[in-house]
Amino acid sequence: MLHQATQRDARAAILATLGTTLGVALLPAGSYLAYLVVWLGVVTVGAAAGIAPLTLARRGFIALPFVLAAAPLIFIRADELIWSGVLGPLSLSVSGAGLRIFLSAAIKSWISVQVALVLLHRYPIESIVGSLRALKLPDALATGAGLTIRYLDLLRGEAIRMLRARASRSASPVGVGGERIGGSISWRAKVTGNLAGALFLRAYARAGRVEEAATARGASGSLSLGALRNPDPRFALKSLLALAALVVTMAIGAAAPRF
């Protein structure tokens, strides 16, 4: 057995994260007060885990570009019109219902990212993968995820070196003086594809060496990479907290007024 044991049991935290995220998703559209209460709860937990609320809030904006998907609803929906007028050549109207969907999706997305960030800040990714395995994630997926994370930096380093080599051999997008260098689009695509192919061959060779090393050390059968060594004896009790997070979030959503 190839064994990379992780020390911290994140099972209850993972369940609490999923419970809170589900609770946020179930909050009705326009429950802005509920969103505020839930967000205050999230930043409180975050602060207890050592993340400043403003840092957490700022990092939560990572999914912000996706709100563009909901933006057309503000101008397309014809119900609950709150403004209509002419802006230059454009005749525009703003729908209250569309605006509510847009803001609700944006705020829910923002809070959900912060919930996930608190989990990631509190537990190393290896502990999360090990805990997911303990939560019955299939072995092939858990070990695959563990190996992906372990070799991520190594292959990224290879990719960065290959990109640097490409930049110094004329296939770079833009030259030092800002001029375009390199060949046609298809030529640049070919060079990029060559890099990807070369990197796959290195990854393939690396996989062969890892297998040889594992065999040499007596590994056989399943590779339980990322196994949880010290399961928390209070897991069941803590899991109730996950359920409580979901119930409390839903209760806040039911009680809070909607706009």
Residue 214 binds another protein (CB under 8 A)? yes
Number of neighbours of residue 21 by Cβ within 10 angstroms: 20
Q: How far is the CB of 200 from another protein (least distance, A)?
A: 6
> Binding to another protein (CB under 8 A): which residues in 88-107?
101, 104-107
Rounded CA separation 112/125 (Å): 18
Rounded CA separation 192/185 (Å): 10
Rounded CA separation 90/94 (Å): 13
> Binding to another protein (CB under 8 A): which residues in 10-39?
17-18, 21-22, 24-26
Residue 184 binds another protein (CB under 8 A)? no
Closest to another protein by CB, 40 or 154 = 154
Residue 63 binds another protein (CB under 8 A)? yes
Helices (H), 93-138: 96-122, 125-134
Closest to another protein by CB, 164 or 234 = 164
Helix (H, G, I), strand (E, B), or coil: what is residue 227? Answer: strand
Q: 85, 89, 221, 233: which one contacts another protein (CB under 8 A)?
A: 221
Q: 193, 240, 247, 255: which one contacts another protein (CB under 8 A)?
A: 193
In this structure, the chain runs to a length of 259
Q: Which residues, at least 6 apart from 139, have a Cβ–Cβ distance to it below 8 Å?
A: 133, 222, 224
| # residues near another protein by CB under 8 A | 88
